[in-house]
Structure 1
Amino acid sequence: MFLASYRKLKKHGVVGLNHRNISLIQKLNRRDLYPLVDNKLKTKELAQKAGIPIPALLGIIEEQHSAEALIASLPTDQGFVIKPARGSSGKGVMVVPKQKMDRKGVVRYQKSNGRLMERSDVLHHISNIISGLYSLGGYRDIAMVEELVKPHPFFDPIAWEGLPDVRIVVMRGYPIMAMIRLPTSHSQGRANLHQGAVGVGINIATGVMTTGVQFNRLVSEHPDTLVEFGGLRIPEWRKQLEMAASCYEMTGLGYLGCDIILDAQRGPLLLELNARPGLNIQIANNQGLGINVAKAAEWLELEESPAERVSRAIAAFGGGEEPLPEEEPARAYAGV
């Protein structure tokens, strides 16, 4: 029975952990380059040099004694995000959408779930980040304070109290599979699948959303808004593909998960990179990753620009779908 199941999965191109680790990550990613993506500060520096847009960095905190001055200096009319430079899977990220001042003139900080915090709560969280509570390996870390990105209005009906992000897996700069992660009430507004966000597959050629998955179960609508996402087309899709493709030159890593967010004013922004992208993207797309990996392997000796690589991937992985003009939506939301 096990052998039959294994053969069936292999036939459909399903990639398992061993295959991913040995044939993709170890083969295509040099270990000395991992710090470029494991450290979000280094990723930001690389992106700035490469001209890839990123969320603005408001400050960094390396020592606890400098935390209060930086937090106090932030304009009270804007939100912000605190995250560990070496964190993973969304651990240690604190989103503060609003700051409020009480009758005594004391600033309070509102989390995504609406709960108000004292400044001491924020400083305690920063202390935990610096001590390495959320870092890879538990090593001492740096707290980053970033601007709060305002989600594109496209996402209003299909996300709950949070910021969706697009994950594009690239192999030597060729986009081979993509999905979007939608925050839910169960994930408390976070776009992390293991916390309950919904992952939805994306057609590479068109940017159209297809099947969805939550907790490894197929879903067709957002569990909180009940809006069906199949057939919806993500704005500025070609730009996001080219951004992800450019990360190969930027880092030198041949197998990457590129996480991109869509800001209401600035458009696509590179959020972070992952040298060990997970495999749930196969469930979201209802397709094995190995089929696209095998195809992309035929192109690895070609010398093409990011734009040329995107065009080749669109032609190969679009499932026969013709790319849509950027201004043409796939369909409108019903009743929105």
Structure 2
Amino acid sequence: MSWISPFRLQRAGMLSMNRRNVDYIGRYNDRASYPLVDNKLKTKLIAAEYDVSTPQLLQVVRQQHEISHFRELVDELDGFAIKPAKGSGGKGITVITRRDGNQYIKASGAKVTLATLERHLSNILAGLYSLGGTPDVAIVEDLVQPSASLADYSFQGVPDIRIVVFQGYPVMAMLRLATRDSDGKANLHQGAVGVGLDIGTGHSLNAVQFNKAIHLHPDTGLNLANIAIEDWQQMLLMASRCYEATNLGYMGVDLVVDAQKGPLLLELNARPGLAIQMANGRGLLTRLKAVERLKRPHFTPEGRVAFAMETFAQPVQQA
């Protein structure tokens, strides 16, 4: 894998936070569309209208008395995920992978009781994890079973793919792998590994942890240089369709690859972070400007994806 220093990245078109906020988020994102992406339940409903699959919705808990229905639901489930609809940064998400008698096993291996899960639902409804602390609703989803080709690379947590989409064009992507440092969560700021992905092929390019280049996953020990994402073009199409679904010009699209159901949308982000540039060893600005210079933009997801795969393709760098 090759590596580009932050100084060289800046010269190569690195997008700064201020420029992202003013020139792209501020300019291309209509604030009227934010509720669609800041609320996971609304995201799921709108995504279904645009042929973008999401994990199966099992229950929506809106009020305290509905928690009794949750008890009935999980009595027949081995695995599931609980999410606050308006949570951010992975806060408040609890993933149960299996049961051991009357106890539920989290992705980290920790055991919790039904009473603990019910208190968690109450905390979600009270707005403990929501943006601004406003009252929230809880979503109970089917458990994502990551494809075997990716699951081995991640430590406990489900690996996901972040794709930055600009004006409907997928311009940059990375694979996020959980680590012991990140407590099984795919959050780069907490210590997850970011693996840059070639838009043209879905193959890995560079890998970073805490903004430093790495070649092996710190916990699994696997080489990160030869990863290939399944159903890559389909994932790019799903990401591109989210532009029509939300009307947001600049956003992050987070997807997973389920072993049985294939690519699924996890959530959308109207303010995607910039660490994806470090993971790719390249700046976003050059690609964003390439889209802005288009005299004839493509009006279909298929056209935008074909353009992106050809224009932003990169040769795979071996370690």
TM-score, normalised to structure 2's length? 0.94
Partner of 1:326: none
Contact 2:164 / 2:173 at 8 angstroms: preserved in 1?
yes
1:200 aligns with 2:198: no
Contact 2:253 / 2:267 at 8 angstroms: preserved in 1?
yes
Please give the alpha-carbon distance, in whole angstroms, between the structure 2 residues aligned to 1:258 and 1:249.
13
Deviation, 1:134, is: 0.7
Pairing partner for 2:136 from 130, 141, 154: 141
Please give the alpha-carbon distance, in whole angstroms, between the structure 2 residues aligned to 1:221 and 1:300.
42
Q: What secondary structure sits across from 1:34 in the alignment?
A: helix
Partner of 1:249: 244
Amino acid paired to 1:15: L
Q: Deviations over 1:205-244 (max 9, x none)?
A: 0100111111111111111111111132111101101110
The alpha-carbon distance between structure 1 residues 121 and 306, as it changes in their structure 2 partners (threshold 3 A), is: same
The alpha-carbon distance between structure 1 residues 23 and 249, as it changes in their structure 2 partners (threshold 3 A), is: same
290-299 or 273-282: which moved more?
290-299
Q: What secondary structure sits across from 1:128 in the alignment?
A: helix
Partner of 1:213: 208
Partner of 2:11: 11
Matches within 5 A, 1:267-306: 267-299=262-294, 301-306=296-301
Contact 1:172 / 1:300 at 8 angstroms: preserved in 2?
no
Partner of 2:72: 72
Matches within 5 A, 1:66-145: 66-101=66-101, 107-145=102-140
Please give the alpha-carbon distance, in whole angstroms, between the structure 1 residues aligned to 2:11 and 2:182.
34
Contact 2:298 / 2:304 at 8 angstroms: preserved in 1?
no
Amino acid paired to 1:196: G
Partner of 2:45: 45
Partner of 1:238: 233
Amino acid paired to 1:127: S
Please give the alpha-carbon distance, in whole angstroms, between the structure 2 residues aligned to 1:174 and 1:186.
33
Contact 1:76 / 1:100 at 8 angstroms: preserved in 2?
no
Amino acid paired to 1:312: F
Amino acid paired to 2:262: G
279-288 or 69-78: which moved more?
69-78
Deviation, 1:191, is: 1.1
Q: What secondary structure sits across from 1:21 in the alignment?
A: helix
Deviation, 1:156, is: 3.1
Amino acid paired to 1:118: T
207-216 or 262-271: which moved more?
207-216
Q: What secondary structure sits across from 1:98 in the alignment?
A: strand
Q: Unaligned regions of 5+ residues in structure 1, if any?
A: 102-106, 322-329, 332-336
The alpha-carbon distance between structure 1 residues 268 and 300, as it changes in their structure 2 partners (threshold 3 A), is: farther
1:309 aligns with 2:312: no
Partner of 1:327: none
Contact 1:260 / 1:269 at 8 angstroms: preserved in 2?
yes
Partner of 1:28: 28
Please give the alpha-carbon distance, in whole angstroms, between the structure 1 residues aligned to 2:273 and 2:19.
12
Amino acid paired to 1:25: I
Contact 1:52 / 1:243 at 8 angstroms: preserved in 2?
yes
Q: Which has the higher contact order (CA 8 A, sep 6+)?
A: 2
The alpha-carbon distance between structure 1 residues 319 and 210, as it changes in their structure 2 partners (threshold 3 A), is: closer
Q: What secondary structure sits across from 1:186 in the alignment?
A: coil
Amino acid paired to 2:70: L
Deviation, 1:300, is: 7.1
Contact 1:166 / 1:259 at 8 angstroms: preserved in 2?
yes
Q: Unaligned regions of 5+ residues in structure 2, if any?
A: none
Deviation, 1:113, is: 1.9
Amino acid paired to 2:200: A
Q: What secondary structure sits across from 2:175 in the alignment?
A: strand
Contact 1:76 / 1:99 at 8 angstroms: preserved in 2?
no
Structural RMSD (CA): 1.9
Aligned-pair identity in percent equals 45
Please give the alpha-carbon distance, in whole angstroms, between the structure 1 residues aligned to 2:274 and 2:140.
30
Contact 2:9 / 2:281 at 8 angstroms: preserved in 1?
no
Q: Deviations over 1:230-281 (max 9, x none)?
A: 1321111011011101110111111110000000001000111000000000
